[in-house]
Structure 1
Amino acid sequence: MSGVARQIDRPRRWLVVLVVAVILFAGAVVAPSTGITRMGPFGLFAWASWLHVFGYAFLSLTLVYALLVSPDGPALSAAIVPIIVVAYGTSLELLQLLIPYRSFAVGDIFADGLGTVVVVGVWTYGQAAFAALGFRGS
């Protein structure tokens, strides 16, 4: 991959992180539909909780990729990603305190944390497993 392609690639990664963050922001400020309180898959949690887990997992995945994948090696530890993502989720929950049709929920913050910890754990373990098998990152 040429140096020019690498320079273009990094801004695209950050653009994807920004788009995902904006989508999560929009989801946090619009009026929720009535179906969001129904139970989701497996009857374990409401759809809203599943959306938090998967939405913030996807944000974490894009952030890990933008921060850690670099031709020069990782710029940061993967441990910083859950801190950033949960702080963003918490700030959106606090913003919802100001919106009459939304509400603050600690359970949503835990769902955000679950999503991000799973992604970072799988990413970290996957990197170590591939390295142990002799694969190099490109």
Structure 2
Amino acid sequence: RLFAVIWFVITTILLCLPGSAFPKENWFDKIWLDKWIHIALFGLLAFLLCLAVPTERLRKIPLFVQIAFYCLLYGIVMEFIQKYFIPNRSFDAGDIFADGIGSTMGSVLSIWYKKNRPL
């Protein structure tokens, strides 16, 4: 659980950095680096949250869906915070889409990991 909390804090800090803290390289846009970062941030968050849940509770599909949903909801809230409270940041629906992909992938991967990890 501690790793999930630490990653949540790190993710929040990174998402709250002002836009001026990021390089303005044109090639970032060409490879969609921002979207890949969102997928990684939210994928790891969902993965760690699922690992924090006892395996027998995670087998219930609704809990897995809830974790992915709440990670996505967190991403949506952070986009609004960026738009209204963080200098030089804006709302980006593409980021929300990437957050959803990452959240879903992280949740699914954690279930697979729990089923296949050595004891």
The answer to whether the superposition gives a TM-score over 0.5 is: yes
Tell me which interval the TM-score lies in, with the shorter structure as reference length: 0.7 to 0.9
Match for 1:61: what amino acid? F
Unaligned runs of 5+ in 2: none
2:48 maps to what in 1?
62
In structure 2, how many angstroms separate the alpha carbons of the residues matched to 1:80 and 1:68? Answer: 15
In structure 2, how many angstroms separate the alpha carbons of the residues matched to 1:113 and 1:68? Answer: 23
**Residues 50, 111 of structure 2: 8 Å contact kept:** no
Shift of 1:35: 4.9
2:71 maps to what in 1?
85
Query: Which structure is richer in relative contact order (CA contacts within 8 A, separation 6 or more)?
Result: 2
More helix by share: 2
In structure 2, how many angstroms separate the alpha carbons of the residues matched to 1:36 and 1:67? Answer: 40
2:22 maps to what in 1?
33
**Residues 46, 106 of structure 2: 8 Å contact kept:** yes
1:74 maps to what in 2?
57
**Residues 38, 99 of structure 2: 8 Å contact kept:** yes
**Residues 16-69 of structure 1 deviation map (CA, whole Å, 9 limit, x = unaligned):** 1111111111111112411576338xx6x4221111000100001110011243
Match for 1:110: what amino acid? F
Q: Would the alpha carbon gap of residues 37 and 108 (structure 1) be closer, same or farther in structure 2, given more than 3 Å must change?
A: farther
In structure 2, how many angstroms separate the alpha carbons of the residues matched to 1:94 and 1:54? Answer: 20
**Residues 85-121 of structure 1 deviation map (CA, whole Å, 9 limit, x = unaligned):** 0011111111011223111111001101101111222
Count residues with an aligned counterpart: 113
In structure 2, how many angstroms separate the alpha carbons of the residues matched to 1:26 and 1:112? Answer: 16
Q: Would the alpha carbon gap of residues 117 and 36 (structure 1) be closer, same or farther in structure 2, given more than 3 Å must change?
A: farther
1:122 maps to what in 2?
109
In structure 2, how many angstroms separate the alpha carbons of the residues matched to 1:113 and 1:104? Answer: 15
TM-score, normalised to structure 2, is 0.78
Unaligned runs of 5+ in 1: 1-12
Match for 2:103: what amino acid? T
- Aligned identity (percent) is 23
In structure 2, how many angstroms separate the alpha carbons of the residues matched to 1:101 and 1:86? Answer: 23
